[in-house]
Structure 1
Amino acid sequence: MAPGEEVDLLVVGGGFLGLSTALHAREAGLSVRLVEAARIGSGASGLNGGQVIPGLKYDPETLLSQFGDELGETLVRFAAGTADAVFDLIDRHAMSVPRGRSGWIQAAHTRTALEAQRERNRQWSARGASVALLGEHEVGEMTGASGYLGGWLDRRAGVVDPLALVMELARVAGENGTLICEDDPVSSLRHTGGLWHATTRSGAAVAAKKVVVATNAYADGLVPGLRESLVPLHSFQVATAPLPPELDAAILPHGQAVSDSRRILVYYRKTPDGRLAMGGRGRQSRPRSASDWRHIERAMTRVFPALKGVKIDYRWYGRVAVTPDHLPHIHEPEPGLVTAAGCQGRGVGLMIALGKRLARYAAEGDRRILPLPIQPIRPIPFHAMRQIGVAGAIAWYRLLDGLER
């Protein structure tokens, strides 16, 4: 960064949220500097499951009940369009991103889950969404898996290569005039003289009229209390060797993404080169060896017994952020300093769509642009003990999932 650099907007974090905010802010006419602590694509935005799923964890009627008719309807409409935001952005900028849009299947492993999907289908169908319930035979044919009692198909969803997407977002943002700095985390942020002044670990400095902190699960102490308001989880994933022709034809023959209905769910998709990629929750600490992915490999052969013995070529993981209420949070602890976090497994669509709204808010200053109310940062009590608590909860949920039929 050049000495004395001053911009309209500083974006801290170069994942989906930060890059989308930067790109859309440039399109709104703002000058933008983006600072990434590591390398673009090294965090969960480049290392996630590649599923582009619209909606939130809660169904429309729950959101209307919680937020009221006006704000609830705004949130529902926003959530319904998050997948569109991704695919439209890719097309508009002719991004080189392997992708498909055949939909997402939520596969039910119990009658209780099937009833919940029936209710979800009723609510989204009433809103004209392209969704459908699947019977046991249909879900078996579409997934190639055994053991599911049925499922729910959301045709609005799709899949992307997440690393290609985050790299293309960075390319387009840079070509549109965003100044991008990598491998240099912001170490201090203070407001003085009507501007926000940021200093990086290397000693570089930038002044900005407004700041968006888009660090999500990688939040540190830059915004007081933000890290303590989130539960970071590790998403572990594996990818097989390219499947032999007979398995390639039988597993996900129509290209949908899938998540199951378990408490500790697994999710999977086919890659463009014919591999099966599957992910799920992993240990809270950093992995030490290939054995730390063994629970995913066991899940893979449970869902697809025919994959027993198929070589695993790749193993990776990323960190994701969950909020206690399972909703994304937007905060503005001081005027001109905005942060948002909490993907809840919908990060690709949610963060890219939310970045567009944050960019407009930075440019226009109208809170009605935002799909959620700005709320105070609320640190989680006993947050320092979260790893023990989360590990215990995951073990308990795995036990319950194993007992269910």
Structure 2
Amino acid sequence: MHPPFPVSPVWRRPVSPIACRFSEGDVDLVVVGAGYQGLSTALHAARLGLSVQVIEAGEIGAGASGVNGGQVIPGLKQDPETLISLFGEEAGKRLIRFAAKTADVVYGLIGREELDVEHVRSGWIQAAHTEAALEAAGQRNRQWRAQGADVALLNQAEIALLTGAEGYRGGFLDRRAGVVNPLALVHELARIATEAGAGLVTEDPVTSLVRDGTSWRVGTKSGRFVRGRKVLLATNAYSGPLLPKLAQSLVWLHSFQIATEPLPAEFDIILASGQAVSDRRRILVYYRRTPDGRLVLGGRGPMRPPRSTEDWAHLERALHRLYPMLSGIPISHRWFGRVAMTSDHLPHLHEPQPGLLMAAGCQGRGIGLMVSLGEPIAQYVATGDPGVLPLPISPLRGIPLHPFRRIGIAAHVAWYRLLDGVER
């Protein structure tokens, strides 16, 4: 359902054509979903010599991969010491090494493949507005410095200089991070995956997924069928009735975003060095500059599709809280998309039936995480060796009382927003 007013992301689409084709007969891998995860896996699988067919329900970039804020953040929601306590010494350190390099993978791919993707790698700031948030930033800084990461703890003067924003007491700077044009990245991934030999069709939802002997028979709305030795269900926040238990294992939220008109030169003090920012509020906001000088800011929105531009009003209030001087700058773009979270805030790898694979749960790290997962998932498809995966394959478990989660989340968002307002 589309709202009765313009809703479109600010991101530019590349002009390079993408060759679409459908592979009749049997293939080694069927990928359902042409986002970062699906296309990265398709690219690496095709380059390993596997036959691959990607099937996308909508247009390239219509899901989370094309409508996110374009922040490329290494690491995971949890810090290294927590990961070791959860996974043990060996598996925890393997996951930390993987997570530490996710931004390297993205920027390395852009450079190596000469992708038509605007990008800046100046770092990411996690901004602290309270003493408790600043203490947490200090813990994150300590743990990643122990891993040899290029990070720093910012004081109040330093964060004010880098962001130009009001109200922060300090923060955590991760110089490994940066920003990209997210829509351009997913389009360019589609282009190089098809050039590597992967088949791709769009705007044709998968409607059936049936185990057929040692393979999977995949059918689409248009009547196409393909058999795959393996299937990667790369649908994440857009998982639905095809595998209900996957959808029931995830909590999805709407992320709303706004973009200003290009800012006049007098506002060049805002993110002057090009960093991206997320704050440490309970209902966080995140923001960055675009190549043409706009400020893009995003955060949680209603659990329903927007009904009017008022559904973005909380973001405009956050923008003016941080940058009161922008109160007269018009908003040029408003858009939204769906993101998936897991109950433990960790990414999950599942194989509920032989040959049926999925990776889900991004927690704000989707670009680096899902692009980076493509190569090990492709290696697993090729070899069957779970040792190539950075995460253990875990059982697929639905969240109890999942149908009521949206009601509970909406109540939590309202309460947390109230608490954040008190702390401002």
TM-score tier, shorter chain, comes to: over 0.9
Task: Write the mapping of 1:66-215 to structure 2, written as runs, cut at 5 A.
Answer: 66-215=86-235
Task: Write the mapping of 1:322-361 to structure 2, written as runs, cut at 5 A.
Answer: 322-361=341-380
Corresponding position of 1:399:
418
Corresponding position of 1:234:
254
Number of aligned residue pairs: give it: 404
State whether residues 156 and 170 of structure 2, in contact with CA within 8 Å, keep that contact through their aligned partners in structure 1: yes
Paired AA for residue 398 in structure 1:
R
Corresponding position of 1:288:
307
Distance 2:334 2:153 in 1: 33
State whether residues 22 and 199 of structure 2, in contact with CA within 8 Å, keep that contact through their aligned partners in structure 1: no
CA offset at residue 381 of structure 1? 1.2
SS of residue matched to 1:225:
helix
CA offset at residue 354 of structure 1? 1.1
State whether residues 9 and 32 of structure 1, in contact with CA within 8 Å, keep that contact through their aligned partners in structure 2: yes
Corresponding position of 2:73:
53
TM-score by length of 2: 0.94
Corresponding position of 1:317:
336
Distance 2:380 2:206 in 1: 22
CA offset at residue 386 of structure 1? 1.7
CA offset at residue 10 of structure 1? 0.4
State whether residues 34 and 179 of structure 1, in contact with CA within 8 Å, keep that contact through their aligned partners in structure 2: yes
**Gaps (5+ residues) in structure 2?**
1-20
CA offset at residue 193 of structure 1? 2.7
Corresponding position of 1:259:
278
CA offset at residue 364 of structure 1? 1.1
SS of residue matched to 1:343:
coil
SS of residue matched to 1:30:
coil
2:393 is aligned, of 359, 369, 374, to: 374
Cα deviations across residues 67-103 of structure 1 (Å, max 9, x unaligned)?
Answer: 1000000111111011111111111111000000000
State whether residues 23 and 172 of structure 1, in contact with CA within 8 Å, keep that contact through their aligned partners in structure 2: yes
SS of residue matched to 2:245:
coil
Distance 2:374 2:253 in 1: 22
Residue 278 of structure 1 pairs with residue 297 of structure 2: yes
What is the percent sequence identity of the aligned residues?
Answer: 62
CA offset at residue 2 of structure 1? 5.7
SS of residue matched to 1:170:
helix
Corresponding position of 1:7:
27
- Structure 1 residues 144, 3: closer, same or farther in 2, change over 3 A? closer
CA offset at residue 224 of structure 1? 3.8
Distance 1:3 1:241 in 2: 44
Cα deviations across residues 288-343 of structure 1 (Å, max 9, x unaligned)?
Answer: 11111111111000011111010000001110000000001111011111011101
Task: Write the mapping of 1:216-227 to structure 2, written as runs, cut at 5 A.
Answer: 216-227=236-247
Distance 1:395 1:116 in 2: 23
- Greater shift, 3-12 or 208-217, is seen at 3-12
CA offset at residue 246 of structure 1? 0.5
Distance 1:386 1:252 in 2: 37
Distance 1:180 1:118 in 2: 45
Residue 22 of structure 1 pairs with residue 45 of structure 2: no
Give the alignment's Cα RMSD to 1 decimal.
1.0
Distance 2:72 2:123 in 1: 9
State whether residues 22 and 201 of structure 2, in contact with CA within 8 Å, keep that contact through their aligned partners in structure 1: no
State whether residues 22 and 200 of structure 2, in contact with CA within 8 Å, keep that contact through their aligned partners in structure 1: no
Cα deviations across residues 26-71 of structure 1 (Å, max 9, x unaligned)?
Answer: 1111110000011111111000010000000111011001110000
CA offset at residue 12 of structure 1? 0.4
Corresponding position of 2:4:
none
SS of residue matched to 1:75:
helix
Distance 1:270 1:325 in 2: 31
SS of residue matched to 2:157:
helix
Corresponding position of 2:402:
383
Distance 2:201 2:226 in 1: 11
Residue 32 of structure 1 pairs with residue 57 of structure 2: no
State whether residues 3 and 204 of structure 1, in contact with CA within 8 Å, keep that contact through their aligned partners in structure 2: no
State whether residues 23 and 199 of structure 2, in contact with CA within 8 Å, keep that contact through their aligned partners in structure 1: no
Cα deviations across residues 381-405 of structure 1 (Å, max 9, x unaligned)?
Answer: 1111121111001001111111225
Distance 2:78 2:23 in 1: 47
- Greater shift, 120-129 or 312-321, is seen at 120-129
Cα deviations across residues 178-209 of structure 1 (Å, max 9, x unaligned)?
Answer: 10010111111111132111000111000111
State whether residues 3 and 205 of structure 1, in contact with CA within 8 Å, keep that contact through their aligned partners in structure 2: no
Point out 4+ residue stretches in structure 1 off by more than 4 angstroms: 1-4
Paired AA for residue 259 in structure 1:
S
Distance 1:224 1:46 in 2: 24
Paired AA for residue 258 in structure 1:
V
Distance 2:227 2:388 in 1: 25
Distance 1:137 1:43 in 2: 38
CA offset at residue 4 of structure 1? 4.4
